[in-house]
Amino acid sequence: MAREFCTLSTQQALEELQTPPEGLSDAEAAFRLAKFGKNTLERKRMPGVLEIFLRQFRSLIILILFFAALVSFFLDDILEAGIILILVILNAVIGAYHEFRAEKALDALKKFQPHEVKVLRGGAESIINSEDLVLGDIVALSAGDKVPADGRIIDGARLRVDESTLTGESNSVSKITDALQKEPTLAERKNMLYSGTLIISGRALLAVSATDAQTELGKVYEKISAEREHFPIQKKMDEFSRRLGAITLLGVAVLSLFGVFLLSYTPTEILKIAVAQAVSFVPEGLPIVVTIALALSVFEMAKKNALTRKLQAIETIGIVGVICVDKTGTLTQNRMRVQRVFLDFADFEIGESGKVACEGKPADLLEQPHFVELLKTGVLCNDAVDGDSSKHHEPVETALLEFALPFGYEKKKLEAMRQRTGEVPFDPKNKYMITMNRKDEKTHFNLKGAPEVVLSMCSKILKRGKAHPITPKHKKIILATTEKYAREGLRVMAFAYKNAERSKTIDNDYQFAGLVAFQDPLRAEAKAAVQKAREAGIRVIMITGDHCLTAQTIAREAGILLERGTVITGEEMERMGEKTLLRELARVQVFARVTSEHKLKIIELLKKRGEIVAMTGDGVNDALALKKADVGVALGSGTEVAKEASDIVLLDDNFSSLVDAVEEGRHSAMNIRRVVKYLFSTNFTEVLFLFIIIFSPVLFGTYLPLALLPIHILYVNLVTDGLCDVTLATEKKSENLMNKPPSYFKGGAFFSPDVMKFILATSLVSFTLLIFTYFYYLEHASSIGHMRTVVFTLLSFMQLWSAINARTASKSVFEAGFFSNRYLVGGIAVSIVVQLAAIYHPFFNEVLKTVPLTLFDWAVVLAGSTSLFMLFEIIKYFERRGMSIIS
**Planar angle of CA 260, 264, 268, nearest 5 degrees:** 60
Instruction: Tell me how crowded residue 320 is: count the other CB atoms within 10 A of its CB.
Output: 30
Q: Which value, to the nearest 10 degrees, does the dihedral of the CA atoms of residues 719, 755, 314, 526 take?
A: 140
Of 132, 326, 653, 660, which is the active-site residue? Answer: 326
Q: Which of 76, 67, 88 is nearest to 718 (CA)?
A: 88
Give me the sign of the Cα torsion angle 299, 305, 311, 314.
negative
- Identify whether the C-beta of residue 714 lies closer than 8 Å to the C-beta of residue 84: yes
Which amino acid is present at 442?
K
Distance of alpha carbon 392 from alpha carbon 398, whole angstroms: 10
Q: Who contacts 856 (Cβ-Cβ below 8 Å, separation ≥6)?
A: none
Residue type at position 777: Y
Q: Are 591 and 539 spatial neighbours (Cβ–Cβ below 8 Å)?
A: no
Nearest alpha-carbon partner for 558 in 524, 582, 585, 586: 524
Q: How far is CA 339 from the centre of its chain?
A: 31
Distance CA 359, CA 348 (A): 8
Question: Kindly report the CA angle at 693 between 690 and 694, in degrees rounded to 5?
Answer: 80
Q: Which runs of consecutive H residues, i.e. helices, occur in 623-705?
A: 623-628, 640-645, 655-694, 696-699
How far apart CA 767 and CA 534 sit, in angstroms, is: 44
Distance in angstroms (rounded) separating the CA atoms of residues 468 and 474: 10
Q: What is the largest CA-CA distance in the chain?
A: 121
Strands 322-325 and 613-617: what pairing?
parallel
Residues whose CB falls within 8 Å of the CB of residue 873, separated by 6 or more in sequence, listed in order: 812, 813, 814
DSSP secondary structure letter of residue 146: B
Rounded Cα–Cα distance for residues 388 and 144 (Å): 12
* Residue 72: its H or E element: helix 60-74
Helix (H) or strand (E) holding 797: helix 784-805
Tell which residue, 508, 496, 622, 488, has the closest CA to residue 548: 488
- Closest-CA residue to 191 (of 24, 10, 374): 10
647 is catalytic: no
Give which of 69, 63, 76 is closest to 268, Cα–Cα: 76
Render 557-616 in DSSP notation, one character per residue: HHT-S-TT-EEEEHHHHHHS-HHHHHHHTTTEEEEES--HHHHHHHHHHHHHTT--EEEE
Q: What is the DSSP letter of 196?
A: T
Q: What is the DSSP annotation of 828-886? A: HHHHHHHHHHHHH-HHHHHHHT--PPPHHHHHHHHHHHHHHHHHHHHHHHHHHTT--S-
Q: Which residues are designated catalytic?
A: 326
